[in-house]
Structure 1
């Protein structure tokens, strides 16, 4: 049975298209047209624009294209979606946003108080791994996946936690304090180790875990 039976809205998400177009226009307004309104700024670099555009297109592919629908039907698509959304999109968007824009954002009164805490390497790593693992507990996964509002909210929180995790690794000029050398290697190894329990639960189970993908009535 072809997935076209779900219709244009389910397959291509017009709302997501609108969000992506809005964010792209806003990006170029801030970094080009309104750049001189900032106290400190630099011309937008071609590589920054390229990073952002690749990241934003990939974001649409995983959350707005038929890939998102397939992620609700097949668990393998879900894991591909998670990998791209959490491990590839955040660093691309982070590298695409100029450092002087990041500087303004993290120096906002409310953000300035919590940002240094949330981006502490160890805390960010534990929070991201914990949220990822909790998400894939069968009972919670089915509950979240089958509630559109809850699923969207949790996915957004998980994405933000991924940004905080990447903050210690990605080099953003004059803004981030990256980990170097063995600390960076240890951080990367630690991130792999901490999500291992959730992955092992999925890989080595002898029976299907999620009603979302195995029970047509629940789906």
Structure 2
């Protein structure tokens, strides 16, 4: 196992620290189109997207790019703690920021189709979305499940898409700007408290567990994961066996990061929500 300065030298040689230029162009294009369209909607008076909400949306896109297009993406497949940082940013921070800047009726557009209306209404209800998101997030952190998902490209991307949707459903209840699915203030407080507490055992389990994840400790599993998650510009062969941190320290750090960002995300939600509902 390579650690310390030797590991960083190999990482530099591998190309892992390169930024994803194609994704940057795509995000920049989305940002430009969003900014122009949201301004047009304001001018026409069809809907109210305030300046601060537009900034929140762009900030969400920026953090999304950091998660998927910066060196963090590479480190998230080398270090368990970096993976937890990426996951926490994506589903605890990016989602509420993006949701704060979109029109709620766009999110509920499928309800206009009769065949999808009942299913969509059920999936976006506070209780179902709470169970769906937290259930998926908890199951994902079972070592056997995470290893299986990380080693199958179809499962990897499908699970992230499903988790992203479930995250949107949870956050629309907390920071939604309109009253379609909005809970009463006191119930909303209880909803936030429930979301805060439900993942606490998972964070503590990660912190105290000694059961390792194969995709971060087994060289064969690592190589297969690299083949799935990295493009051809990355020299994956020299990344095999790199340990930036001891396994137990890395896993404890991952649990601490997830716990801290999960709690912080609801403070962000509290900061955003009153300004979104004005």
Name the TM-score, length of structure 1 as normaliser: 0.84
- The answer for the alignment partner of 1:181 in structure 2 is 185
C-alpha separation in 2, matches of 1:180 and 1:44: 23
Distance in 2, matches of 1:28 and 1:194, equals 36
What TM-score results when the alignment is normalised by the length of structure 2?
A: 0.67
Alpha-carbon distance change, 202 to 124 in structure 1, aligned in 2, over 3 angstroms: same
CA contact (8 A) 1:208 1:214 kept: no
* 8 A contact 1:126–1:194 mirrored in 2: no
Query: Tell me, which stretches of 5 or more residues in structure 2 are unaligned?
Result: 1-6, 223-278
Q: Which segments of structure 1 move beyond 4 Å, counting only runs of 4 or more? A: 99-103
1:62-141 correspondence to structure 2 within 5 Å: 62-99=67-104, 101-102=106-107, 105=109, 107-109=111-113, 112-141=117-146
Question: 2:111·2:121 contact (CA, 8 Å) conserved in 1?
Answer: no
2:182 and 2:200 map into 1 onto residues whose CA distance is 24
- Map of 2:253 onto structure 1: none
The structure with the largest alpha-carbon Rg is 2
- List aligned pairs for 1:1-219, cutoff 5 A: 1-2=7-8, 3-7=11-15, 11-33=18-40, 35=41, 41-42=46-47, 44-99=49-104, 101-102=106-107, 105=109, 107-109=111-113, 112-173=117-178, 175-205=179-209, 207-219=210-222
The runs of 5 or more residues in structure 1 that have no matched partner are: none
In structure 2, relative to structure 1, the CA distance for the partners of 1:212 and 1:89 (3 Å cut) is: same
- Alignment partners' CA distance in 2, 1:102 and 1:144: 27
RMSD: 2.7
